[in-house]
């Protein structure tokens, strides 16, 4: 009887840990998707400060809360391209 209770308790604990692990992975994936979409939309807009802030949030989420030099370079490049594209489209619209 004691062994049966132990087995049931152990399997319950394993199921709970598996649930927590899967839930955390799903929340992290959703967070990355949300930040990725927000960053893409910010790059399509005209607000550089907002795009930079969202880009920093996105890249730091990818790296576990830290920005690397490569991430900062990537953000600077993407913002430069964003600025050039907006100038190009402004000229065409006129």
Residue 76 in tokens: 């600077």
Kindly report, residue by residue over 15-57, the tens digit of the pLDDT.
777 767 766 676 677 888 888 899 888 888 888 889 999 999 9
Residue 70 is predicted with a pLDDT of 93
Q: What is the mean pLDDT of the chain?
A: 79
Distances (CA, A) of 21 to 14, 16, 54, 57, 61: 11, 9, 27, 23, 18
């Amino acid at each position: 009887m004691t062994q049966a209770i132990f087995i049931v308790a152990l399997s319950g604990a394993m199921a709970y840990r598996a649930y927590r692990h899967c839930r955390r992975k799903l929340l992290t994936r959703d967070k990355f998707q949300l930040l990725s979409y927000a960053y893409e939309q910010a790059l399509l807009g005209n607000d550089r400060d907002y795009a930079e802030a969202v880009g920093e949030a996105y890249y730091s989420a990818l790296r576990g809360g830290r920005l690397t030099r490569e991430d900062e370079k990537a953000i600077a490049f993407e913002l430069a391209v964003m600025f050039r594209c907006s100038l190009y489209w402004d000229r065409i619209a006129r």
